[in-house]
Chains A and B, each alone.
Chain A
Amino acid sequence: MNKSLHPLVWWIWAGSLATAVAMTSSIPLAFGVVGAAGFIVRRKAEKAPWAKSFAWSIKVGTWVIVIRVLTGVLIGVPIPGRTLFTLPIIPLPDWMAGIRIGGPVTFERLSSTAHDGILIAAIIGLLGAAASLSSPHRLLRSMPVMVYEFGVTIVIATSILPQFVTSVSRIKEAQRLRGHESRGLASWRRIALPLFEDSLSRSLDLAAAMDSRGYGYSRKRSKYRNDHWTTRDYALCAFALLVFLRPEYLLIIVALSPLVLAP
């Protein structure tokens, strides 16, 4: 059987890609890299609850772009240029001089805010890809023991979060079948109550299970399987760092490199 990559390698890969994207600050490249990372996730991610992180991070990224563009258009310093349309200016008190809400929206202003938003979204997307590709539990395990010591919270959080998502859809469905359509604030309350009860009891169960299996009782902790760094791990890391030499040419190649280098 092929040993899967060391979980840290995926984070190094995603981290260097994200930094390189920020360095080049090029929109086509940002789209290209996220697309390539998405392709890798599709090909390499295991069937596990955390594999959905990428899809979630893309959703979050989209919201970031939308919010960034909206706030950028409404508030801020005017950038001169070709005016697309003009919003009514909302008068502000004197002490807030320099800040303006509304006013003429120029093409330059729109494109610069969209540009920033897309870059941030790309970075979020790349980190989401790393989360999809490596198990949070295994990553935690390869951390030093001192970090592991406060691991109960993290273990619970990483196990409960995917459960949270499935619980929401399960409860929503049950409520719909009771004849309640899920719209508005009232429906949120109907979902939140069973959801919190569910998550709380799960967390308590897990904490009890960890406790009764001796977690945290012994100061030292042995490792069943040391996550050794293989040649392949080193190779992918080295390759990922190579991106900084010539980000504009190497980005996409590095993003797709796991296709060849990962088992």
Chain B
Amino acid sequence: MIKFTNVSLIYPNSQQTVIEDLTFIVAEGELVLVMGSTGIGKSSLLRLINGLVPHHTGGILAGDISVNGISTQSVKPGGLAHLIGIVGQNPLNGFVTDTVEEELAFGMETLNLPPDVMRKRVEEILDLLSLAQLRNRSLATLSGGEQQRVAIGSALVMHPKVLVLDEPTSALDPVAAEEVLSILHRLVHDLGLTVIVSEHKLERVIQFADRIIHIQGGGQTQIGTPETIFASSALAPPIIHLARAMNVSEIPLSVRQMRRLTEPIRKHLSEITPDVVHTVDKAKIVVKVDRMSISYGAKEAIADTSLTICAGEIVAVMGRNGAGKSSLLRAIVGATSPSKGAVSIVGKDPFSLHGKERTELVGFIPQEPSDLLYGQSVREECSQADADNHVASGETFALIQTLVPGISQNTHPRDLSEGQRLSLALSVVLSAQPQLLVLDEPTRGLDYTAKVSLISILKEIAHAHDRAVIIATHDVELVAELASRVIFIAEGEIVADGTTMDVLLSSPAFAPQVAKVMSPSPWLTVKDVLTAMRNNP
């Protein structure tokens, strides 16, 4: 179906080839996963398939790509619209119309299909993706999972042979992600659709993939079945790391398979209970939320919530898309003033803080870290932070070098990779040494390596410097590794608040992979299990 012959790609003004001499064939009805670190060229590879690269972005392409026998060099992306459906990283950015139904029809209108065909197909897709109740809704009011489903639907409605998705679940909570992935699975099996998907959260997708294209950087690519790729790849989900550590005979791709393989080991470990790693001294209260409500118009985002967070705690705030996580965070950092009740950070009202007093009390990393940055280079950004926070010149840059070694002072912040940009924003905020650090979904688009360094930084801030950290995220694996306490929000109310272990294990959807494998024993991370195995041979 898709044929790459000796494909190389280089962007203008760049010395490095993104892809070098790549040859592969994807057969009809295959689900292929594209994986690799951030900024390594996954999106480029996906966009090569329908010719958006290089037709839309520029760049030099060598070799040939053909889809269903049509070479992408001879036609523009529009000419492949009936053949390839493509769903971008952020579906909201790609919506052209206002309502669900119109969005579904848009592509067919451009292809000049007769109205009766369009009517029929729209109904089909509404049913297939269970969007029927949403048909007249405005696209801007949909939740993340619903938007993703509409984007998939508006691609499918053209009856394409190939569906290309760029990180379809990165912004979704585990439940919505599950929903989207099971739809993809069904499409491949029922309709024989060929699906190419890129994803960072490998634990969510590997069990569905027939083959994996692993882009390793520097033009290196590896293609094979999940079993062969994960026999050696350093980039792997927790379940693979666990299997390697346990010396399991096969490479497990699903929790079920792993459980079958590890029965004796699990039995051996079942008598041991993990010891609590870090205890928090409850004496120093950093955040105090007292019977707070936040409402936007008639809608109540947070209802009558009380909460205390102490120094040394790392608190993860979890919950569905739109449950009120961001509202809670914004009130805590003082971006909004609560409609009722009060928030205080070390006794002060965060809404009234200004300038230096603010940065020393609370640091905030928004969902788009680049909102904070405006310098023309890393150097300019760092010296601005030095000046703002009255610290010695060069201190911020020293900080960022510990986070991401080898970063160049002259790089423009926009040219940094996602992980590097987050680190830059983090160093700018941390140079003021705030008592409280708040992060709103920092792991969108971060790969495992970047996540590991983020985890170690945040742990050091909380434990060595005795600060409080609050992090809102959908990433259960990150929470399992990082947080000491989890707050679960639903419909603007705190429905669970307890240690990471208690909260994560009590909900099957939000349990990390290791916990699912080791259930009913209460283990969360690969490291914990390994330590236990080493201590109890």
A interface residues with partner B (beta carbon < 8 Å): 1, 46-49, 135, 137-138, 155, 159, 170-171, 173-181, 189-191, 193-194, 197-198, 202, 204-218, 220-226
Contact = CB atoms under 8 A, between A and B. Distances in A.
The 3 closest A-B pairs by CB, nearest first: A214-B81, A217-B78, A209-B94
Contacts of B80: 212
B110 A212 contact: no
B186 interface: no
A178 B428 contact: yes
A233 B72 CA distance: 47
A224 B50 contact: no
Contacts of B84: 212
27 contacts: A135-B98, A137-B102, A138-B98, A159-B96, A170-B368, A171-B371, A174-B368, A175-B372, A177-B334, A178-B372, A178-B429, A190-B374, A194-B370, A206-B94, A207-B56, A208-B52, A209-B88, A209-B95, A212-B52, A212-B78, A212-B80, A212-B81, A212-B86, A215-B78, A217-B79, A217-B110, A224-B118
Contact of B93 (A174, A178, A206, A226): A206
Nearest to A224: B105
B109 to A, nearest CB: 6
B356 interface: yes
Contacts of A170: 366, 368, 371
A132 to B, nearest CB: 14
B118 A222 contact: yes
A175 B90 contact: no
Interface in B90-116: 90, 93-98, 101-102, 105-115
Interface stretch (B135-143, B175-183, B451-459, B471-479): B135-143
Contacts of B354: 179, 181
A205 B94 contact: yes
Given A222-B114, A224-B108, A177 B358 contact: yes
B384 to A, nearest CB: 9
A193 B141 contact: no
Contacts of A225: 102, 105, 115
A116 B428 CA distance: 52
Contact of A214 (B78, B97, B334, B368): B78
Contact of A194 (B94, B101, B373): B373
B355 interface: yes
B76 A217 contact: yes
B180 to A, nearest CB: 18
A211 B106 contact: no
Interface residues of B, number: 67
Given A206-B96, A210-B96, A218-B112, A174 B154 contact: no
A179 B335 contact: no
B115 A223 contact: yes
Contacts of A215: 78, 96, 110
Given A179-B355, A208-B88, A217-B79, A48 B94 contact: no
A214 B80 CA distance: 7
B111 A218 contact: yes
A178 B425 CA distance: 10
A218 B115 contact: no
Contacts of B428: 178
Contacts of B510: none
A179 B358 contact: yes
Interface of B: 47, 50, 52, 55-56, 76-82, 84, 86, 88, 90, 93-98, 101-102, 105-115, 118-119, 122, 136, 138, 140-141, 154-155, 158, 333-335, 354-356, 358-359, 362, 364, 366, 368, 370-374, 388, 414, 428-429, 432
A206 B89 CA distance: 12
A180 B372 CA distance: 10
Given A194-B370, A213-B158, A215-B78, 17 more contacts: A135-B98, A174-B366, A179-B354, A179-B356, A180-B388, A190-B374, A206-B93, A208-B52, A208-B56, A208-B88, A208-B94, A213-B106, A213-B154, A213-B155, A214-B78, A217-B81, A224-B105
Nearest to B106: A213
Given A181-B354, A206-B93, A174 B372 contact: yes
A208 B77 CA distance: 9
B58 to A, nearest CB: 12
Contacts of B371: 170-171, 174-175, 194
Given A137-B98, A174-B364, A194 B374 contact: yes
Contacts of B86: 209, 212
Nearest to B375: A193
Contacts of A137: 96-98, 102
Contacts of B355: 179, 181
Given A155-B96, A211-B78, A217-B81, A193 B110 contact: no
Nearest to A187: B374
A173 B365 CA distance: 11
B128 to A, nearest CB: 18
A212 B356 CA distance: 48
B90 A205 contact: yes
Nearest to A179: B359
B110 A216 contact: yes
A135 B98 CA distance: 8
Contacts of A47: 138, 141
Contacts of A177: 333-335, 358, 362, 364, 366
A181 to B, nearest CB: 6
A222 B115 contact: yes
A180 B381 CA distance: 13
A205 B79 contact: no
A202 B95 CA distance: 11
Nearest to B369: A174
B110 A213 contact: yes
Contacts of B370: 194, 197-198
A180 B383 CA distance: 15
A167 to B, nearest CB: 9
A105 to B, nearest CB: 41
Contacts of B118: 222, 224
Contacts of B93: 202, 205-206, 209
A237 to B, nearest CB: 23
Contact of B109 (A155, A175, A181, A222): A222
Given A174-B371, A207-B56, A212 B136 contact: no
Instruction: Name which of A179, A202, A211, A223 has the most chain B CB atoms within 10 A of its CB.
Output: A179
B281 to A, nearest CB: 28
Contacts of B429: 178
Nearest to A218: B112
Contacts of A197: 370, 414
B131 to A, nearest CB: 15
A48 B50 CA distance: 32
